[in-house]
């Protein structure tokens, strides 16, 4: 693959990013709800556990979503994959060339 992603992959990525974010946040919000409603801990413990988790998720969101550019698309795909924001199923939307490059990098890790 050339260093510059295909236009079709870039368009797919830009279209996909908001959906990936929302799907990820749906899962996060469900988990955060469980934390705040945990009856086995005190309200204070729940609050501080929730606060810590929200900070962690905010860092992940910034890492995955801030500063997208075509030249850094592969980097963002790998970061999103590492944080389970992007799945194997999502990778099917991309060209064979990009999928091969992603899978090659992931197999090294």
The pLDDT mean for the chain works out to: 95
> What integer pLDDT is reported at residue 108 of this predicted model?
83
State the Cα–Cα distance between residues 76 and 13, nearest whole angstrom: 10
List, in order, residues 6 or more apart from 21 with CB less than 8 Å away. Answer: 61, 64, 65, 85
Q: Specify the pTM.
A: 0.88
List, in order, residues 6 or more apart from 2 with CB less than 8 Å away. Answer: none
> What integer pLDDT is reported at residue 1 of this predicted model?
42
pLDDT in tens, 79-94: 999 999 999 999 999 9
Helices within 37-72 (DSSP H only): 43-65
Which comes out higher in pLDDT, residue 105 or 108? 105
């Amino acid at each position: 693959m050339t260093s510059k992603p295909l236009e079709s992959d870039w368009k797919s990525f830009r279209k996909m990013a908001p959906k990936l974010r929302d799907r990820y946040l749906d899962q996060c919000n469900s988990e955060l709800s469980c934390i705040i409603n945990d009856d086995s801990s005190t309200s204070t413990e729940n609050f501080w556990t929730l606060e810590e988790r929200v900070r962690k998720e905010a860092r992940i969101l910034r890492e995955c979503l801030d500063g997208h550019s075509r030249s850094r698309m592969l980097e963002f795909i790998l970061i999103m994959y590492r944080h389970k924001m992007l799945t194997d199923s999502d990778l099917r939307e991309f060209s064979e060339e990009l999928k091969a490059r992603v899978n090659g990098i992931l197999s090294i890790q």
